[in-house]
Structure 1
Amino acid sequence: MDKNQQNTRQECTCVLAMAAIPMQIYGQLYEPEEALARGTVFKELDLPFFMGGGIDGR
């Protein structure tokens, strides 16, 4: 990278990602086949996906 490229470089101050991570409770577990289909072995973590934004979720 030469000096001209270094001077025009800008830092990104935008939010690139946001995570919602619930506490993990070792309670009821799914059987392996159902856990694979649902994407989690923990029944307590099998929550509906939620989105923010407009009325239609965009």
Structure 2
Amino acid sequence: MQTKEFRTSGTCAKLSFMGLPCPNLGTGGYGYHGPFEHVTVEAMESVVKIIKNIALD
């Protein structure tokens, strides 16, 4: 059997391809990969709450 990944970079992409769910829970930043890339403290606090809810569920 021959398979081919549809995404080629990132640890989560490789783990997902192998069947291990690996959601990308970003922090909601802005200006990705550019000179003005940033994230707000409020966005980071929000994602912490989300991850805690997932872990405790």
**Which protein has the larger Cα radius of gyration, Structure 1 or Structure 2?**
1
Normalising by structure 1, report the TM-score.
0.27
Specify which structure has the bigger relative contact order, considering alpha-carbon pairs within 8 angstroms and separated by 6 or more residues.
1
The structure with more helix, counted as a fraction of residues: 2
